[in-house]
Amino acid sequence: MIKNNIASVENNNTAGSLALLGARAPRDSFVASRLRAAGAVLLGKTGLSQWANFRSSNSSNGWSAHGGQVRGVYIEDQDPSGSSSGSGVAASLGLAAACLGTETDGSILSPAQRSGVVGIKPTVGLTSRDMVIPISEHQDTVGPMASSVKSAAYVLQAIAGQDANDNYTSAIPSSIPTLPDYVAACKPGALGGARLGVPSNVLELFLSFDNSSIPEVDAFQSALDIIRGAGSTVVLGTNFTNLTEWAASDSEGIVLRADFISPTGLAAYLSKLTVNPNNITSLADVARFTKTVAPGPEEFPSRNTATWDQALDPATGFDNTDPRFFPVLQENLFLGGEGGLLGALERHNLDAIILPTSFAPGFAAIVGAPVITVPLGFYPADAPKIMDRRGELVDTGPNVPFGISFLGRRFDEANLIGLAYAFEQATKVRGKVKPYLVPGTELPRKGR
């Protein structure tokens, strides 16, 4: 199953918006066509946080006008996290062998951990974004969500590769004439001899914001002993040197908004549609439709359009052709590079950084680096219920899953897959707590 912002010719591709209901893409997305070529059967689309969580400041994860509310499976009315909400839930329940999600910042990693599954957020440029409804050309990527590292590795093997319709894929290093064998990287002993860094100042920063994640940090600290026992050297204090500046910066938000309204952003995708019943050609058209044509079904203004309003406001918004864009992008790259993830990897000669998944996505997102999340544990059965910002869904509470993330250098997926697989095999967390919901019907598998 694939997220409802990844085009397949037989299905609507709406990003959850009624504005694009009935619109038709001219072809499969590159990743959908690669899945078919590998023999996969596409069963359908999964629900998502509308516009990949790039519309509102007060909506809920997993909600879209075209699809309704996705709910998590480990507790009644669970927030599934987002934006690849339905892909995480479908992978968790086994409604498909695996699912595709997209990530700009956290949209694979976060719903994967809350559904207790594996999520691979690939390097930007390893998987094509052709015919995928975009947010940011600098940060968007497509990746697999599945019940195991090896299943996710099979899917990544199928969808990765160069595509003439996405020039970012030309960044795949010429030193690798063929892609690594991601499935063969799944070795139980891969943690042996690895140097893994823990940026202690990241843990301190996030706990200072919100101490409700203490169970996740406690489980993470316990996991370090398992990792050491598997033969890794855990290097504490591999701090991100410009973490304070990162926490105070809006450079990422500016980059995302500028990319979204740029000529190569949303408008470029819309221009390729062969059928466009609502004549949607720009973000301004989407905003008009949402606010005036279908405000009831789109639940406006209860779910606002604050992100779009900021992007479209001449006082605050500009696209990525504007001269103000380049210095903001450079700030982004520094805060994730020398001042953040990539700098820590190099200074301490690390194979990867490890963090609780709740803390991990942003540092890799702003430099397009890869991350893998693997199940780590569950909130205790007596944990208090913490509600989402609308007070409608349970953000964290009894038995809600969480993960551990392995963050690495660009195009270093094979190494991260090996580390994640070895951790998964050493812990086998998935299945230790049964979900609140389980499917009553399973598709037959021939020959099994």
83 is catalytic: yes
385 is catalytic: no
Helix axes 413-427, 214-229, angle to 10 degrees: 100
Residue in 81, 107, 148, 262 annotated catalytic? 107
Phi, psi dihedral angles at 324 (to 5 degrees): -75, -15
Residue 40, number of CB atoms within 10 A of its CB: 18
**Spatial separation of the C-alpha atoms in residues 293 and 18, rounded to whole Å:** 10
- CA dihedral (295, 300, 304, 307) in degrees, to 10, reads -20
**Spatial separation of the C-alpha atoms in residues 296 and 302, rounded to whole Å:** 9
Structure tokens at 220: 């993470």
**Spatial separation of the C-alpha atoms in residues 135 and 255, rounded to whole Å:** 10
Structure tokens at 367: 């430099």
**Spatial separation of the C-alpha atoms in residues 375 and 384, rounded to whole Å:** 21
Residue 443, number of CB atoms within 10 A of its CB: 11
Structure tokens at 136: 């940011």
Q: CA–CA distance from 239 to each of 191, 193, 197, 236, 347 (Å)? A: 21, 21, 9, 8, 10
DSSP class per residue in 132-183: B--S-TTT-EEEEEESSHHHHHHHHHHHBS-BTTBGGGGGS-TT-SS---TT
Q: Residue for token digits 């970012």? A: 168
**Spatial separation of the C-alpha atoms in residues 63 and 273, rounded to whole Å:** 24
**Spatial separation of the C-alpha atoms in residues 225 and 348, rounded to whole Å:** 20
Q: Which amino acid is at 271?
A: S
222 is catalytic: no
Q: Residue for token digits 């909130």? A: 379
**Spatial separation of the C-alpha atoms in residues 193 and 1, rounded to whole Å:** 37
Residue in 59, 83, 213, 251 annotated catalytic? 83
Positions annotated as catalytic residues are 3, 83, 107
